[in-house]
Amino acid sequence: MDQGPGTRDLKNKKVLVVGFGKSGQAVLRFLLKQGVRPAVTDLQNEKVLAPVMKPFKGFPVDWFLGSHPLEVFESADLIVVSPGVPINTEPLKTAKQKGIPVISELELALRVRGPWSVVRGPSVQVPSPWSVVRGPSVIAVTGTNGKTTTATLIHHLLTAAGKKSLLAGNVGRPLIDCLDALSKTQFLVLEVSSYQMETTPSLKPDAALLLNITEDHLHWHESFAAYAAAKAKLIQQAAPGGSVIYNQEDSLASQIAERIPARRFPFSSRRQLKLGGWVDEGKLYLKTEPKSQPKVFDLNKTKLKGIPGWENMLAALLAVSPYVEEVGCLQKGLETFVPLPHRMQIVKEKKGVTYINDSKATNVGAAVKALAGVAGPVLWIAGGQDKGGSYDPLKEWVKKKSAAPIFWGRRRQNWEKFLRG
């Protein structure tokens, strides 16, 4: 792995920030504090970006807006790319071919802080160009659907148990903004996207969670195989002695996880497992030692509902259980967790009709789980951007649950054609 310039000598390097969203802005703040004169490029023009550029007025920044000039990429010593920028963009491909390191904001933060290792014994060694820093235990979550809820729930369970936890990453808080807080925390919980995993080789989580892999972001990745490979990197990079947590009912996630020589804990919403987590008759079961009795959690008072909710809770419990043993504490954490907005969010119940906002279901896999997880006939309102995946997995559930689907938006005709097919 090409480590690129170390953070100790960034001041003397030409650093290019590609993309000026929340991640790019955080990187720019950090670089300016280090005395670096960075360059920033974004396809949006200065008029569009003016509000977010305002805090940086007067600082030494070279702006290249409205295009990605190839010469700026070729002259850089280090490129920090934002998650929304496709890694196969021609200037980035050219830079990589020339040996210029292309990394994520998350990777930059890991390099600054140094690799973390929860040292479990004198034989544990983590090869690295930096000295090993004993820091927080790292729990990292990825998957096509459910990763924000699961990561937030893990953070909530740890906090409810009195642990010091920091939540960052794709959940909306760039890790590079949190460096000062890391020395004061016991756990770092990261939501990680497929975009970030393409450019974050230093992430070695103590617990790596792969929730599911279904078609999504095919407009960004070159193929579904490339997308799945990016997701797989998280569990493949689990720390020595760490654990891999995965969805037994997702065939692709299972195939990938079961090839990894690590402690593996599957979870299932359909069947009892010898080891891992499962749901049965209104209860969650957790078994992480072969000879132990499963821990049991009641679902009556939890607010996460349906198959997606069960899976998110099982994954979070498996991640947290090595650090929080008390069933009562975890049960209370499950019951006090408030579901995030727009994710199977019950808006109101009136005259026997339940109104659910699930607008965060932005791909076919999420929509399938939502339809499968609710009882009774459904009036389903769907639309939005087409991400390149097949609609076929929805056909069964549209027929089973949707008495009168309503399609809207620019892709309405695609949906209607699918339904007639």
In whole angstroms, give the CA distance from residue 88 to residue 219.
Answer: 11
Model pLDDT, residue 3:
44
Question: What residue segments make up the domains of the chain, in order of their start?
Answer: 7-100, 132-336, 345-420
Torsion of CA 224, 226, 228, 230, to 10 degrees: -150
- Identify the residue with better confidence: 71 or 88: 71
> What's the one-letter identity of residue 319?
A
Question: Is pLDDT of 125 > 50?
Answer: no
Model pLDDT, residue 82:
94
Strand partners of residue 354? 349
Phi-psi region of 298 (alpha: psi -120 to 50; beta: other; left: phi over 0): beta
- Identify the residue with better confidence: 163 or 84: 163
Residues 201-247: tens digit of each pLDDT: 999 999 999 999 986 544 544 678 888 998 999 999 999 999 999 99
73 pLDDT tier (thresholds 50, 70, 90): very high
> What's the one-letter identity of residue 233?
K
283 pLDDT tier (thresholds 50, 70, 90): very high
The whole model's pTM is what?
0.82
Beta carbons of 252 and 274 less than 8 angstroms apart: no
Model pLDDT, residue 353:
84
Joined tokens for residue 53 = 């550029």
Mean pLDDT, rounded, of the chain = 86
> What's the one-letter identity of residue 280?
D
Residues 168-177: tens digit of each pLDDT: 999 989 999 9
Question: Is pLDDT of 404 > 90?
Answer: no
Domain range 345-420, CATH class: alpha beta
Mean pLDDT is lowest, of 41-50, 74-83, 352-361, for 352-361
**Domain covering 132-336 in this structure, CATH number:** 3.40.1190.10
* Main-chain phi, psi angles of 41, to 5 degrees: -130, 140
> What topology is assigned to 7-100 in CATH?
Rossmann fold (3.40.50)
Beta carbons of 210 and 245 less than 8 angstroms apart: yes
Highest mean pLDDT among 51-55, 367-371, 415-419: 51-55
Model pLDDT, residue 114:
63
Q: What percent of the chain has pLDDT over 70?
A: 85
Question: Is pLDDT of 342 > 90?
Answer: no
Which of 1, 18, 25, 24 shows the shortest CA–CA distance to 204? 1
Strand partners of residue 104? 81
Model pLDDT, residue 224:
82
Model pLDDT, residue 220:
45
- Identify the residue with better confidence: 79 or 375: 79
Contacts of 229 by beta carbon, 8 Å cutoff, 6+ apart: none
Domain 132-336 and domain 345-420, same fold? Reply is no
Beta carbons of 87 and 66 less than 8 angstroms apart: no
For residues 357-379, give the mean pLDDT: 74
